[in-house]
Every structure is written in structure tokens, then in C-alpha cells.
């Protein structure tokens, strides 16, 4: 079956799913109420995770990579407060995105631009999802704003001496689900999409991300073009991802793939927020005590 035919079938299935309206109003009200309570609880524990990240891993005099996402915004605001109150001094932030730069500026954090020679002591970031044990993570599912760049975000996180992800318990799991964003050259992008589709045949669909309107196999008439001039293909997995590093390695071998949203770094830590509290995990070998402390 040709790629266009498979995409057409996937599009029909997705559209049918999203246009269904099977719930009664009473059921909907109950669901919204439960969702609101869960959201409030999640925000509370996520703030505690953000606060713990700043209090535990950031010291005076550090250069800090400022991540993107809801938890990172909380950490940036709290970091700014610590600086204003004098608890931390001589902090320089390097933002990973336009949004984190804006949050940091409002929080009063001194900023610097990222360069390949930048020495970054520690960086924190949200993850769309993170693999249990390896702490291999996916970033970049969110809608990109203005001059945001997955490539720059990844580069800053990789350059940091220490990387901390701030996630909820539902984002930290084995057998990952959802999509992996892949940056591809805009020229001959269909050939690259075909090769990715063949690579994950039966386990994933490949959709080009739109700048406006609905997502679809071709991204409509207005595909998203990144700051660097690349298209974003969302590889939407319909089966659990058993090995994220293997997925990343396979993508790296495909002609036309520039980068992707998979990040794997050792050492790496994750502060995981759950209903019962916080817990911290790392991906260091158990006998590597020398690197265990930040």
C-alpha cells in the first residue's frame, strides 16, 4: 500500500474519532470537574518539583539553562524570586526558547545568548514524556512559537554539565506513547517521510506539522517552517515505543533528517511529581558514586 493511501486511511480514522460526540451533558460535567481537580493537584505538585529543582541543584555563580514548558516556567519564576530575595547571586540564565526568555526577563534573571562555546553548569526542562530507567526524553511536541527552535533547545540541554527534567508521574513511564517530532529538510521532504513511514511500517503514522489549521499527513497548504527553514514531521506511534534510543538512532540514519525531539544524556536526573510527593531518579550506573552528587 502506497504512503498516500495509508495516510488517507489514517486521516479518515482520526477525523472520525475527533468528530464523534458520544457523551451526555451530565457525564461531561462530571468529567470536567474531575479534570479540574486533577489539574489543580498536578499544578501544586509540579510547583513543588520546580521549587525542589531550584533549591537543590542551582547555586550562586552558576550559568543556568532555562527550559521551556509549564514546570520550567514555574522554576524560572521561583528562581527569579530567589535572586530578588538575595538567596542566589551572580546567576546567568541561557533561555532555550522565546517563551523562557520572556519568563526570565519578567522574573528579573540576567540573560545571555547561547553560543557553542557557552559553559552551562546546569539546565532544567520539561519533557513531553521520559523513558523509565534511561531517562531518554521527547521534547518538541508543543506548538512552536515565533523564533523557537528544537535544535537550539536540544543543544543547550546537551551542553549543560547537569540536566534535570521536571515531569509528572504520568510522563515518566516504560513503554512510551505518542509522537516524536522530526526535523527534515524541506526539499524532497516527501521522500524522507516515505522512508520514515517504511521504517516504522504498521507502528506509526507520519504527519507534516501545519503552521495553522488542522494537522494531517501533508500539513495542509501552510506547513510549519522552523527558524532554520526545516519542516517538522510528527511520527505518531500507534504502538508503545519499547526503546526510544533505538528510534532516535534509526532516525539519525535517514537521509534528509536534520534532527529530532529525542534527547539522551548521561548524567541526567528527573524530578518526578506524583500525588504522594516527589521522587528523584537518575540514569547513572549504581556503582558510579563519584557523579551521583551535583
153 tagged catalytic: yes
Active-site residue, from 42, 103, 148, 153: 153
Q: Return d(Cα 243, Cα 93) in angstroms, integer.
A: 33
Catalytic residues: 153
Amino acid at each position: 500500500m502506497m504512503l498516500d493511501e495509508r495516510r488517507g486511511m489514517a486521516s479518515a480514522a482520526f477525523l472520525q474519532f475527533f468528530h464523534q460526540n458520544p457523551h451526555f451533558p451530565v457525564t461531561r460535567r462530571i468529567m470536567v470537574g474531575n479534570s479540574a481537580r486533577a489539574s489543580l493537584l498536578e499544578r501544586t505538585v509540579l510547583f513543588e518539583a520546580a521549587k525542589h529543582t531550584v533549591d537543590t541543584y542551582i547555586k550562586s555563580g552558576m550559568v543556568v539553562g532555562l527550559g521551556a514548558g509549564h514546570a520550567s516556567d514555574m522554576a524560572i519564576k521561583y528562581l527569579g524570586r530567589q535572586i530578588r530575595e538575595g538567596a542566589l547571586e551572580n546567576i546567568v540564565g541561557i533561555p532555550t526558547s522565546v517563551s523562557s526568555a520572556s519568563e526570565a526577563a519578567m522574573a528579573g534573571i540576567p540573560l545571555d545568548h547561547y553560543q557553542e562555546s557557552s559553559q552551562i553548569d546546569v539546565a532544567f526542562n520539561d519533557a513531553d514524556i521520559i523513558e523509565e530507567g534511561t531517562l531518554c526524553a521527547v521534547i518538541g511536541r508543543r506548538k512552536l512559537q515565533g523564533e523557537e527552535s528544537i535544535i537550539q533547545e536540544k543543544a543547550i540541554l546537551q551542553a549543560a554539565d547537569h540536566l534535570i527534567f521536571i515531569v509528572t508521574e504520568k510522563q515518566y513511564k516504560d513503554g512510551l506513547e505518542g509522537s516524536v517530532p522530526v526535523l527534515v529538510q524541506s526539499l524532497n521532504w516527501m521522500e524522507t517521510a516515505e522512508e520514515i513511514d517504511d521504517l516504522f511500517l504498521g507502528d506509526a503514522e507520519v504527519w507534516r506539522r501545519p503552521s495553522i489549521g488542522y494537522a494531517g499527513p501533508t500539513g495542509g497548504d501552510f506547513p510549519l517552517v522552523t527558524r532554520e527553514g526545516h519542516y517538522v514531521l510528527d511520527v505518531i506511534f500507534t504502538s508503545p515505543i519499547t526503546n526510544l534510543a533505538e528510534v532516535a538512532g534509526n532516525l539519525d540514519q535517514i537521509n534528509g533528517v536534520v534532527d529530532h525531539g529525542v534527547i539522551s544524556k548521561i548524567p541526567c536526573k528527573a524530578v518526578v511529581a506524583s500525588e504522594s510527593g516527589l521522587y528523584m531518579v537518575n540514569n547513572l550506573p549504581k556503582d558510579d558514586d563519584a557523579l551521583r552528587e551535583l
